[in-house]
Chains A and B, each alone.
Chain A
Amino acid sequence: MSENATANAAGISARGLVKHYEAGRVRAVDGLDLEIAGGEFVAICGPSGCGKTTLLNLLAAIDQPDAGTLSVAGVSLTNLSNAEADRHRRSTVGLVFQLHNLLPNLTALENVQVPMLAAGRPLRERSERAWVLIERVGLSDRAHALPNTLSVGERQRVAVARALANEPRILLADEPTGALDSKNGERLLELLDELQRDAKTTLVVVTHDPQVAAQANRVLEMLDGRITSPETAAASGD
């Protein structure tokens, strides 16, 4: 399958992707190949330190690869300028971190507006869309609460709403249930699944949690900076 064909509007394609740290002593991503079609829900599993978060950072253009090619939503991320990387994070991808990472001085509703502020959306649209998203994640009664007054599960739902603020084509989640108990984890997973199906968003979840992996369309195993599972080979045609 050609790169252009797979890197569709919401797809991801990587070939020989490399990201090393500490002058090559840490080979976080080491010649990784990956194909994800638009609208897929893919779980990336693997032991700690296998490079899952680094891969997610590369997909989000938070980090730049050292070698290889990477295309996300039809855009090559290999040699992005700072401004292009900012634009990618702002409009193409939405990020859910393991630790919600909400801004402590802003309310839940305001936190959801933060990405829209950078995108330059009109004032009214920002607050209205934030409200819709807060309602969607079931927190309309907690919209004006500060993060430190929210439960861990509520904070993570706000983080999901924030990730969806700019209507990204790809949602990237790093251990989204890692800090949650099983009940809250299950609720969050249902929410992600529902949002992904409704908006036809590509969802890539990095997880240790077998429950999360079980919900995905496809599970990719990662080890020593590479995808090792047979599904990858099938999907990428290798």
Chain B
Amino acid sequence: MEPTGPPLTLLRMIARNLYRRPMRTTLAALGVAVGVVAIVSFSTLVRGLWDAVDATIHINDAELMVFQADVAADLLSVLDEEETRAKLTAIAEVREVIGTLWHILPIEGRPFYLILGLRLEDMPSLRGDLIRGRCPQADDELLLGSIACGALEKDLDDVLHVRGEPYRVVGVFRTDAVFFNGAIVVSLPRLQRLAAREGRVSLFQVHLRRGANPAAVAERIEREHPELVAIADASEYHKVDQGLEIAQDMVWAVSFLAIVIGSIIIANTMWMTVLQRTREIGVLRAVGWPRRRIMGMIVLEAAGVGLIGCPLGWLLGAGLAELTTFLPVSEQFMEPVFSATPFLLALGVAVVLSVLGALLPAWRAGRISPAEALRYE
């Protein structure tokens, strides 16, 4: 190495300033990380929800899901099984319909489980998703989703009590529709009785004939039967349940709040930094550093804090999202889906919020008079 070492650059100076004050840098970076955690964890979980909804709609390669129109939530949808089946099968493009009842029940002391009711003759539609066992062939047999299987600690041939009635576990399944992996599938007539909804279902999965256009069929169903709503993908799910969109809005609200908090932390830190370093800044001004350069240094230092905080937030955010899937209730329907978008968005937000937070302190630093700063103790 040359005795002179690497030459001093502005970036090197900024790195030194951040490195030599580790506690201040770490605390400020944690402030940024809070915003990043919010963006990454919530975005990946909501993305997971969207994907899960999409997979739910298209379970067993169904093209459409048909619910009761004008309901506040999908679980509140109630359709007359025979009447609706007749309406749907009367449409030429419809090849097959499968009526399903969704219900929520506490199971063996656990707060709630999604119970799906399918006719025994429709059970084979789940065959492709079985990972163990077989499909139920009698009313006292049931299938467990893979998550429910683990959570309830039940497996093949075990007996599970639903509303006090014994059922034998004959199969375990896993689908891309994560909600269903936490569910229990029983025969439709049994669930109709347990839920006091004889002759009723929540929805129909609709399989179309080859070449049929799902959007066109959905439109026709809604036009000819205004009491029904047909959904072809997750973006239309708000027609039966606003939960997904509310979750999406919550993500932005919480992320915005976290970003504001992070920005205030940065502003506070940089303001204190400028105050603590008044004399140093005065020296820089006294040796001819222009105001612009001083301001640039403060802003870049803040951006550096953002860059340090961001990976920290990435890790914590991803960890938090994964952790959520281990919680007893959320494990049934939460599965984070990681993509580059929230991470890049968080990086941009971290740097921008850091820079925004530093603007006022930087302006203050630029206004420091060298004469006053050199007198400053």
Residues on A facing B (Cβ under 8 Å)? 57, 60, 62-63, 82-83, 86-91, 95, 97, 101, 103-107, 109-110, 113-115, 117-119, 123-124, 126-128, 130-131, 140, 143-144, 162, 166
Contacts and interface: CB of A to CB of B under 8 A. Distances in A.
Nearest to A106: B16
Contact of A124 (B7, B20, B284): B7
B288 A90 contact: yes
Q: Is the interface of B mostly helix, strand, loop or mixed?
A: helix
Contacts of B21: 105
Given A89-B287, A104-B20, A123 B374 contact: no
Pairs of residues from A and B, 5 with the lowest C-beta to C-beta distance, nearest first: A90-B288, A127-B7, A113-B8, A127-B4, A89-B288
A123 B3 contact: no
Contacts of A63: 371
Interface of B: 2-10, 12-13, 16-17, 19-21, 279-280, 283-291, 293, 370-371, 374
Contacts, number: 101
B7 A126 contact: yes
Nearest to A162: B287
20 contacts: A57-B371, A62-B286, A82-B291, A86-B290, A89-B286, A90-B288, A90-B289, A95-B286, A101-B286, A103-B284, A104-B20, A105-B16, A105-B17, A110-B8, A113-B7, A124-B7, A127-B8, A128-B4, A131-B4, A166-B288
A164 to B, nearest CB: 12
Given A105-B17, A106-B13, A62 B371 contact: yes
Contacts of A91: 288
Given A82-B290, A105-B19, A127-B2, 8 more contacts: A95-B286, A97-B374, A101-B286, A103-B283, A106-B13, A127-B4, A127-B8, A140-B3
Contact of A114 (B6, B287, B374): B287
Q: Max chain B CB contacts within 10 Å: which of A87, A89, A131, A162?
A: A89
B288 to A, nearest CB: 3
A127 B293 CA distance: 20
Contact of B370 (A62, A119, A166): A62
Contacts of A162: 287
A11 B12 CA distance: 37
Contacts of A109: 4-5
Q: Max chain B CB contacts within 10 Å: which of A104, A118, A166?
A: A118
A105 B284 CA distance: 13
Given A62-B374, A90-B288, A119-B288, A101 B283 contact: yes
A63 B282 CA distance: 12
Contacts of A88: 288
B72 to A, nearest CB: 60
Contacts of A95: 286-287
Contacts of B17: 105
A127 B9 CA distance: 10
Contacts of B291: 82, 86
Contacts of B12: 110
A127 B3 CA distance: 9
Contact of A123 (B9, B19, B284, B287): B9
